[in-house]
Amino acid sequence: MIQWWQILLLTLYAAYQILDELGPYTSAGQAVFAGLISGLVMGDVTTGLFIGGSMQLMVLGVGTFGGASRIDANSGTVLATAFAVALKWNPEQALTAIGVPVAALLVYTDILGRFANTFWVHRIDGRIEEFDYAGIHRDFLLGALSWALSRALPVFLALTFGQGIVEKIVGLLQGDLSWLAQGLTVAGGALPAVGFAILLRYLPVKRHIAYLLLGFVIAALLGTVFTSIVTLGAGVSAVNKDFAGSFNNLSMLTIAIIGLALSILYYKGNQAARLAVAATADSNEEVEDDEL
């Protein structure tokens, strides 16, 4: 059961995360961060990071242009993590049955929050005509209220009154609808791949296909090598008790550094080619001037 103080903390975070996304932008408004906070509050960081990371990957290629609304992956992560931990639910099923639908539905509260914010904008217009600078500052800060409520209110209501409904859904998925639960589990595992597919749709893949293939091969190769080393170490430690057999898994930082090195090489090569073209053009202009 979700405790009252957990509902309070998660509601406060839901209100803050959208303000962070609009203002300081410390990444506290990202889905993976929402999973970390929700996991800490609910006492299961692993589940929180799994749901938050999966949701983050799913929205990896989803962007907004201008004032467009997008799905609220953060609130979906908060609710999916809270119910998954409280009801000891499969995180992948919670992600697809709670996280994704909530994220999609809260697009409407995002629109409502944006619409309500125009009230404060018109008040500020009136304050400007009256040269009321204190009122301008006050109404500007109050404009954050509609944004915060657009996230905090749905999260609070769902955590307070939705636990019974979600508990019945979990009971059905673990009983007569177990076939549906298996489908939700498979869909939950495939969601990060959907996010990558959307991202690749917008990236210039054809122009940089060599780097894409190289990155995939390096990641797969290093993963295979390190997994084999760990397996070999475990076998040796089973034969020789004095062998510690302690190996660390491959750090994602290593792959990120390799990617950064390739990016630097590409950037320098591209700049050198542009300078060469510019130098050739200048040389041709000088020749034409001499001929004239």
| Residue at 7 is within a domain | yes
| Residue at 261 is within a domain | no
Mean pLDDT of 190-197: 78
Q: Distances in Å between the alpha carbon of 61 and those of 21, 56, 101, 271, 284?
A: 17, 10, 18, 28, 44
pLDDT at residue 10, rounded to an integer: 93
Q: What angle do CA 9, 164, 29 make, to 5 degrees?
A: 30
Which two three-digit tokens encode residue 92? 């992948």
Say if residues 50 and 93 touch (Cβ distance below 8 Å): no
Q: Measuring CA to CA, which residue among 77, 74, 82 is closest to residue 99?
A: 77
Please give the residue range of the domain that contains residue 150: 1-203
pLDDT at 246 over 70: no
| Residue at 63 is within a domain | yes
pLDDT at 184 over 80: no
| Residue at 246 is within a domain | no
pLDDT at 289 over 80: no
pLDDT at residue 292, rounded to an integer: 54
- Which region among 51-65, 69-83, 87-101, 134-148 has the lowest average model confidence (pLDDT)? 51-65
| Residue at 270 is within a domain | no
Q: Distances in Å between the alpha carbon of 170 and those of 67, 184, 220?
A: 37, 12, 36
pLDDT at 259 over 80: no
Which two three-digit tokens encode residue 118? 């125009």
pLDDT at residue 271, rounded to an integer: 78
| Residue at 147 is within a domain | yes
Q: Distances in Å between the alpha carbon of 153 and those of 38, 69, 147, 273?
A: 17, 18, 10, 55
Mean pLDDT of 195-214: 80
How many CA atoms lie less than 13 Å away from 153 in the CB half-sphere? 12
pLDDT at residue 40, rounded to an integer: 93
Q: What is the DSSP letter of 66?
A: T
Q: Measuring CA to CA, which residue among 47, 59, 110 is closest to residue 83?
A: 47
| pLDDT tens digit sequence for 22-40 | 777 787 888 889 999 999 9
| Residue at 14 is within a domain | yes
Q: Measuring CA to CA, which residue among 62, 61, 32 is closest to residue 49?
A: 32
- Which region among 10-19, 113-122, 230-239 has the lowest average model confidence (pLDDT)? 230-239
Contacts of the segment 266-272: beta carbons below 8 A, 24+ positions apart: 266/208, 266/211
pLDDT at residue 67, rounded to an integer: 59
- Rounded CA separation 75/287 (Å): 65
Mean pLDDT of 214-223: 80
Question: What total number of domains does the chain contain?
Answer: 1
Confidence tier at 250 by pLDDT (50, 70, 90) = low
pLDDT at 65 over 60: no
pLDDT at residue 41, rounded to an integer: 93
